Amino acid sequence: MRGVTTFGAFTTARLGIYAAQKGLDVAGHNIANINTEGYTRQSLQQVSLRTGNKDMYTSIYDAGTGSGSLVTGISQLRDPFLDIRFRTEQASVGSLNVRLSGLNELSGILDEVGANNGDGILEAQFNDLVKQLQNLNTEHATENEYDSLVRSSADSLTRLFNNYAERLEKVAQNESESFKQDISNVNDILKNLQSLNDNIMSSEIHGDSALEMKDQRNLLLDQLSSYMKINVTYQPVSIGAGAKVDKLVIKTASNTPRLLVDGGYATQMSLRENTPQLNPDYTGAPGSQKYLDAAGHPTDDVTSAAMMADTNYDLDLTALQNSAGKTLTGSEAVALSDTELYGGLQSSREMLTEKGEFTTAGELMSDANAASKRGIPYYQNAMDALARKFATVLNEANTGYLKDSGGFYLYKNGAGELTRLTKVDGSALALEDMSEAQKATLLHTGKSGVLFSNGRDNLYQSGDADYNAKITQGITAANLTVSKLWNTGAVRIQNSYVQGAEKGEAVNSSDNSNILHIIALMDSKQAYKPSDTITGKVSEDDPFFEGSFQQMLNGMQATLAQDVKSTKTLLNNFTASASELNTSRDSVSGVDLNDEAMSMMTYQKSYAAACRLMTTLDEALNTLINNTGIVGR
Amino acid sequence: MIRITTNGTLRGYQTNLNRSSVNLSQTRDKVLTQRNFNSYAEDPAAATQAFKLRRSFSRTSDQLSNTQSVTKKFESAWDAINTVKSNLTEKTAKVSALSGINGSTGTGRQPLGKVLAAAADSVVQTMNSQYGTSFIFAGNDALSGAPFAWNTDGDLTYRGIAVDSASAADQQKLQTMSAETSYVDIGSGLSEQNGEVLNASAFNAAISGLQYLGYGTDADGDPKNAASLMKELSDIFTRCDADTGAYANATDEKDANRLCKKLQGTLDNMTNEWSTLSGKASYLTGTEDRLTNMVDDLNNQILQVEQVDLASAITDFSWAQYCYNAALKVGNSILSQSLIDYMN
């Protein structure tokens, strides 16, 4: 007979005790880590041990038994498919989360619902301006104190514009800081992954499964996935002697996958400092050239293009390096294109750069959907467009020329007499039909002039050539101000341009035709075009909005509100879905107290049973040794 | 069958409790603020509508205040013209003139002349009345000074031009002045065409004294202006003999009779214009009523859009509170037991 040894069964009992002990240890470890973030439930791997083989002389009646149980290792319970699905959702959650927080910051400024007892802030100031104009118009056309009231109201309005612009700029700065912080976080994650990969691989080579480090790595991968959509693969690598270990490879999940981590090699991300100057008029049509050289001439040669500071928050990836600074063979630095990433980082970039309808044709070439994406610059541009339109329209209305009661523009002839400007047939000559020379002869009356300026009034003298053009050029929400001329009383709201009877170049004191015109302008439809505020060829120069000043403001607020609403809904959906997937992941990988209680009971019983086996064997051997063959002694 | 782990249960509970808490907070906000929405994003369509209504409310309030102001001015004008028409022209000047040309009372012509001169001055003074800082009857140059004045030649002038001037240029100017406009927005749909306000879309608040007193001369070369006629009659009567009251000459007598008739004519004209003014004033009063109603309507509409239905808001809040309390109660027992608690 083969394999029958007297004390063999003691080994079986010992192995049983050992396995049960290990099982209790694992249950204890699981219970201890129930609240450890990222911890994956561990389980004991056991195999049944059987030694010896049958040989040719073995009796067919010999029944072979096993020799107990062996603990072969401790493993994690994880479903890789759930990981992939969770991380994909996580990229969307991250993307929408960042977007929503950016939009909420903007809403904090532009959303006037409920403010000021429901009347709004900028909105209410527009109403107040109309009210003051109406007061001036009704019976007080040339009374200075009423003009001052209009001016005070206009001054408050310009200050609100300035304040909104300043706060929008602050939001942009905060978003920029947070974007830079995110890049630094991503770089930290990539570095940590690199070092964990090194450690895991070296542990695995030495036979340790490095489960805790893998948990840490999975946690980092989850974090990374909220910044950008990634593809994670494990590739077996031979370590000699037929043994293999898994190498972690992370790539961006885009049409052109970029390697982020390859085992012990990892890339680092950085903001691009300089970029070739794009030709704002570039359309992509044949003959249209993409860049501008130093002299401002279009060129298609990127090397001769002028370099300028990158304001598009473009990202670069360095070549992959290991911890010793050695570059991975074949790896090179990569300049990421405008739309390669998806996730929190990209959303942050889009908040910082997207201009919606203010996108130039050149910018549209790098992102075909740019015209429908609206970030902080869109709202800044829209506020600028509103401020500029408001200032331009009112300035224009307040800088007309003297006419007579018949509607004819007047000029002074050689003898200094006021004379009508007429067409050949004697009818009135319209302003748009006049030559520049004719326009130069027209007469200003009363205190007409520029009401709003770009705040540079102090840099020039009112007698300077093109003074009006200089102080009104490039008005934005940030610099809009009541002109110095109006502030000092040199200019007032011009009540009329119609020459009064017996008044020479002056107008009648209570003729309010121009004030009423300004009141009508406050509610009249204006067309807002992208080209009003931006330089360079725009994708579409149709008006993106037509309506009064206040309607434009409401339109802007409604666009933002709609964006917040839809982003919130999407975020809720993705969060619910990610949370469900996380629960599913947890149902595989999480620790459950009932499970562990079951394990404890199972292993405790098997421990007791193995001990009992030993006692039984002891008793059996005691019988054999001490009580066998003693009959008759 | 899916495994429900301890932490999975906890996380699920946390998520749901949080949702319940958010819901409670939102319904509480509605009750506290009594507003249907507290941010633009909550209901973009209603928020846009609310701003639009509030804008209309603001504009209508402005128009109402414009109307009230213009109404008061027109009421003052009505009073002034009434005084000129009834007291001065009809009761004083006309009676004096008729007495003057009537032979039986002819002896008192000289004093009557003085009465007429005083009446003419009073007419001019009344026509120079002010409403606030503006001269009511000065057309659209109401802030420059009194429109009517006697010049050194004793002629009546309107803003510097003799109202009885026979010159075509002056006539043209007077005609322009009598038709001056000063439009005010009283909610008739203010609109413009080619930068010019459409007449029907605003109310012309300019009142020219020329329309009421008259201007220019007629075919006989006599003034059409009531005050000038009084003045001329006064001059004729003053020239009469102090004792007998006899006319200085035959022409004077003829003139006096003619001018007296013409004074009656200007009175008719004044009455007509006064009726037109009454019409305008009552139109303004009607507009005031209409705008007041509109302000009320708009206010109601704003409340309908913005204000929450308290009954349903409180019901929602109570329900949210009930759900939240229930969630808390569940939380207390969510992890009370596991197999471990039953192990010996």
In chain A, what residues touch B42 (CB-CB under 8 Å)? 113, 565
At residue A65's C-alpha, the angle toward residues A61 and A69, to 5°, is 170
Q: Cα–Cα distance between A370 and A380 in angstroms, integer?
A: 16
Beta strands (DSSP E) in A373-489 are: 410-412, 418-420, 452-453, 481-482
Amino acid identity, position A173 = Q
In chain A, what residues touch B190 (CB-CB under 8 Å)? 516, 519-520, 523
B25 at interface of A, judged by CB pairs closer than 8 A: no
Specify whether the CB–CB gap between B229 and B223 falls below 8 A.
yes
What lies within 8 Å, CB to CB, of A613 at 6+ separation is: A9, A12, A13, A16
pLDDT digits (tens, 9 = 90+) for A408-441: 999 998 888 899 999 889 888 888 889 989 888 9
Q: What is the mean pLDDT of residues A279-294?
A: 80
Taking residue B14's Cβ as centre, other Cβ atoms within 10 Å add up to 12
Q: Cα–Cα distance between B230 and B150 in angstroms, integer?
A: 13
ipTM rounded to 2 decimals:
0.90
pLDDT over 60 at A2, yes or no: no
For A277, the 3-state DSSP assignment is: coil
Taking every pair of C-alpha atoms in chain A, what is the biggest distance, in angstroms?
A: 165
pLDDT digits (tens, 9 = 90+) for A6-49: 788 899 999 999 999 999 999 999 999 999 999 999 999 999 98
Q: Cα–Cα distance between A434 and A423 in angstroms, integer?
A: 10
For B183, the 3-state DSSP assignment is: strand
Please name the residues between 278 and 337 in chain B that touch chain A, using a CB distance below 8 Å. Answer: 302, 306
Provide φ and ψ at B205, rounded to 5°: -95, 5
Burial of A251 from C-beta contacts in 10 A (0-12 / 13-18 / 19+): middle
pLDDT digits (tens, 9 = 90+) for A205-232: 888 889 999 999 999 999 999 999 999 9
Per-residue model confidence (pLDDT) at position B296 = 96
Token look-up 């002389």 returns: A57
pLDDT over 90 at A524, yes or no: yes
Per-residue model confidence (pLDDT) at position B333 = 81
pLDDT over 50 at A333, yes or no: yes
Which of B12, B142, B343 has the CB atom closest to A510's CB atom?
Answer: B142
Specify whether the CB–CB gap between B273 and B81 falls below 8 A.
yes
Taking residue A31's Cβ as centre, other Cβ atoms within 10 Å add up to 17
Q: Cα–Cα distance between B48 and A111 in angstroms, integer?
A: 11
Per-residue model confidence (pLDDT) at position A1 = 40
Which of A134, A554, A600 has the CB atom closest to B66's CB atom?
Answer: A134
Query: Which segments of A323-428 does DSSP mark as H helices, in order?
Result: 344-353, 361-366, 376-397
For chain A, the first-to-last Cα distance in angstroms comes to 31
Specify whether the CB–CB gap between A387 and A477 falls below 8 A.
yes
pLDDT digits (tens, 9 = 90+) for A467-519: 999 999 999 999 999 999 999 999 999 999 999 888 888 999 989 999 999 99
CB pairs below 8 Å between A and B: how many?
Answer: 212
Q: Cα–Cα distance between A92 and A510 in angstroms, integer?
A: 64
Residue B316 distance to chain A (closest CA, Å)? 21
Burial of A125 from C-beta contacts in 10 A (0-12 / 13-18 / 19+): buried
Range with the largest mean pLDDT of A178-187, A572-581, B198-207: A178-187
| Domains and their CATH numbers in chain B | 55-303 (1.20.1330.10)
- Cross-chain residue pair A524–B192, CB shorter than 8 Å: yes
Which of B5, B51, B159 has the CB atom closest to A586's CB atom?
Answer: B5
Residue B225 distance to chain A (closest CA, Å)? 20
Rg (CA), chain B: 38
- Cross-chain residue pair A509–B141, CB shorter than 8 Å: yes
Which of B3, B40, B192 has the CB atom closest to A592's CB atom?
Answer: B3
Q: Give the DSSP H or E segment for A594.
A: helix A593-626
Instruction: Measure CA A30 to chain center.
Output: 38
- Cross-chain residue pair B138–A510, CB shorter than 8 Å: yes
Token look-up 């994003």 returns: B41
pLDDT band at A3 (very low <50, low <70, confident <90, very high): low
**pLDDT of chain B along its 344 residues, tens only?**
478 888 888 888 988 999 999 999 999 999 999 999 999 999 999 999 999 999 999 999 999 999 999 999 999 999 999 999 888 888 888 888 888 777 666 677 888 888 889 999 999 999 999 998 899 999 999 998 899 999 998 899 999 899 998 888 899 889 989 999 999 999 999 998 887 888 889 999 999 999 999 999 988 889 999 999 999 989 998 888 888 888 888 898 889 889 988 988 888 999 999 999 999 999 999 999 999 999 999 999 999 999 999 999 999 999 999 999 999 998 888 766 778 888 77
- Which two structure tokens, joined as six digits, stand for A414? 């050689």
B185 at interface of A, judged by CB pairs closer than 8 A: yes
pLDDT digits (tens, 9 = 90+) for A98-148: 999 999 999 999 999 988 888 999 999 999 999 999 999 998 989 999 999
pLDDT over 90 at A156, yes or no: yes
What lies within 8 Å, CB to CB, of A543 at 6+ separation is: A527, A528, A529
Specify whether the CB–CB gap between B320 and B27 falls below 8 A.
yes
Relative orientation angle of helices A344-353 and A211-227, to the nearest 10 degrees: 20
- Cross-chain residue pair B2–A579, CB shorter than 8 Å: no
Q: Give the DSSP H or E segment for A251.
A: strand A243-252
Please name the residues between 113 and 152 in chain B that touch chain A, using a CB distance below 8 Å. Answer: 131-134, 138-144
Per-residue model confidence (pLDDT) at position A312 = 87
- Cross-chain residue pair A592–B55, CB shorter than 8 Å: no
Domain boundaries, chain A: 8-77+598-626, 83-90+173-373
pLDDT digits (tens, 9 = 90+) for A257-274: 999 999 999 999 999 988
Provide φ and ψ at A37, rounded to 5°: -65, 130
- Which two structure tokens, joined as six digits, stand for A172? 């942009």
B62 at interface of A, judged by CB pairs closer than 8 A: yes
Q: Give the DSSP H or E segment for A529.
A: none
What lies within 8 Å, CB to CB, of A240 at 6+ separation is: none
Q: What is the mean pLDDT of residues A309-320?
A: 91
Per-residue model confidence (pLDDT) at position B1 = 43
Residue B219 distance to chain A (closest CA, Å)? 26
Specify whether the CB–CB gap between A550 and A390 falls below 8 A.
no
pLDDT over 80 at A4, yes or no: no
